[in-house]
Amino acid sequence: MTAPAPAPAVPAPAAPRIRRREWLHILTRAARTPRGMVGLGLALVVVLIAVIGPFVVSYPPLAFVTVPGSPPSAKFPLGSDILGRAVVLDGGWQLLLMATGAMIIGVVLGTAAGIAAAQLRGWRDGLIMRTVDVILAFPQLVFALLLVSILGPARWLLVLAVGISHVPQVARVMRAAALDVSERDFVKAVEITGVRQSKVMSGEILPNLITPLMVETGLRLTYSIVIITGLSFIGFGLQPPAPNWGYMINENRIILTSNPWAVVAPAILIAILTVGLNLFTDAIARVALGIERAEKIIAEAAGTGIVSEIPA
């Protein structure tokens, strides 16, 4: 059957040919779901406190101002800590910065490794993944501890260590996704016209990897925060006297009975931050994958931060 008689009106040629900024659309859609709203809200509250906290107090936070371990009072709403300093909510922004740095390192290196392995195939694929898997043999916390054990807890080393410990998981997820996409017919349809591999990668494969990339970014950020605060907690993360929430929790355990707020306040902040981030990552996954698929995939990918590979 022939098409209807050609109409003179032709659609505007300036219409965009490629869906751009899909990641932004996913983020905004996720932020509008109930889960996303709560998660984003919680996380932003804590980030706000972390950033603004130091400027709000009317006295230098490190000054010794009162009896150690005194309960909350009008002057010091959260009481004082073990050293007699006022408990203030300072000590978050450095943690956040370090965690973000670790996340970026992990995601960038892991994605590069995963995609390279998927594209190169053959023995190079095996080599990259086996190399990366060596890191997988270490619990993330233990890996970081190992590196700082002799060299000391320098901030750059912490960020690097935690970042590197993320690489295997990110690489696995991105490799699996890249393999899946590159097998699809629409990629072959472009390859068959002789387009350069790099163009195939940038035009066809990468744009379709947005979803796993976003989910992994969210998960990695959350885990980075967990590990770095954990390290700070046992004293091998951010060092005093730089205030940090992880160390505060440990430091003030002894005075739990006299002023629990010195421990509870930073603990609650960390908890709210991680819960909020996780909720938002979940919302992103749901928006991009549909509710039922997202549940199973997140359950698998977030298992312990590792997805094991079973050979057929």
Partner 1 sequence: MTSGTGPPRLVVEGLTVRAMGSGAAIIEDVSVEVAAGEVLGVVGESGSGKTTLGLAMVGHARRGLEIASGSVRLDGTGLSSLPADELRRLRGAAMTYIPQDPSSALNPALRVGGMLKEVLTAHGRTDAEAAARVQEVLAEVGLGSRPEILSVYPHQLSGGQQQRVAIAMAFACRPRLIVLDEPTTGLDVTTQRMVLETVARMCASYGVAAVYVSHDVVVVGELSNRVAVVYSGRVVETGATADVFGAPAHPYTQGLLRAVPSPERSGRLVGMEGVPPRPGQRPPGCGFAPRCPLVIERCTVAMPELVPTGRAGQLARCVLVETGQAHTEGTLAPAVDKDLTKAAAPATTPVLQVTGLGASYGSNQVLSGIDLTVPPNSCVAIVGESGSGKTTLARCIAGLHMNWTGDVRYAGQPLPPGIRRRPKEVLRGIQYVFQNPYASLNPRRTVGGLVAQPIQTFAEGRRVRDDSEILDALRAAALSVEVVNRYPDQLSGGERQRVAIARTLAVSPRLLICDEVTSALDVSVQAAVVELLRRLQHQRGLAMIFITHNIALIRSIAQQVLVMHNGQIVESGAVADVLDHPRAEYTRQLLDDVPKFSAAMTSSGDAQ
Partner 2 sequence: MTADVAPAPPVAGAKQRAHPVARLIWTRTALGLVTLFIVSILIFAATQLLPGNAATAVLGHNASASAVRTLQLRLGLNKPPATQYWDWLSGVLSGRLGTSLANGQSVWGLVGPRLLNSFVLVVLAGFIGAFIGVGLGLFAAIRRDKPVDHALSVGALAVTSLPEFVVAIFLVIIFSTVLLHVLPGVSPLESNSGALKPWQAPKELVLPVAALVVVIVPYIFRMMRAATIEAMESEYVEMAQLNGLSRVRVLLRYAFPNAIAPTIQVIGLNFLYLAGGIVLVEFVFDYPGIGQGLVNAVADRDIPQIQFIVLVLTAFYIFMNILTDVVTLMATPRRRVPR
Site for partner 1, rule CB under 8 A: 1-4, 6-7, 10-11, 13, 15-19, 22, 184-195, 204, 207-208
Side-chain half-sphere of 90: how many Cα atoms within 13 Å? 18
Q: Which of 139, 203, 207, 240 binds partner 2 (CB under 8 A)?
A: 139
Closest CA to 213 of 128, 310, 106: 106
**Rg (alpha carbons) of the chain, rounded to whole number:** 24
Rule CB under 8 A: say whether 296 interacts with partner 2.
Answer: yes
Distance in Å, CB of 310 to partner 2, minimum: 5
Choose between 16 and 304: whose C-beta lies nearer to partner 1: 16
Give Cα separations from 284 to 171, 180, 256, 291, 309 (angstroms): 20, 21, 38, 10, 25
- Regarding 233 and contact with partner 2 (CB under 8 A), the answer is yes
Q: Does 152 bind partner 2 (CB under 8 A)?
A: yes
Q: How far apart are CA 90 and CA 264, in angstroms?
A: 14
Could you say whether residue 87 binds partner 2 (CB under 8 A)? no
Pick from 238, 243, 252, 236: nearest CA to 63: 243
71 touching partner 2, by CB under 8 A: no
Angstrom distance (rounded) from CA 115 to CA 121: 10
Would you say 229 and 93 are in contact if contact means Cβ atoms under 8 Å apart?
A: no
Handedness of CA 180, 184, 187, 188 (dihedral sign): positive
Nearest distance, CB of residue 288 and partner 1, angstroms: 12
- Shortest Cβ 189–partner 1 spacing (Å): 5
**Residue 26 CB, nearest distance to partner 2 (Å)?**
19
**Sites of contact with partner 2 (CB under 8 A):** 130, 133-134, 137-142, 145-152, 222, 225-226, 229-230, 233-236, 249, 253, 256-257, 260, 263-264, 267, 270-271, 274-275, 277-279, 282, 292, 295-296, 298-300, 302-306, 308, 310-312
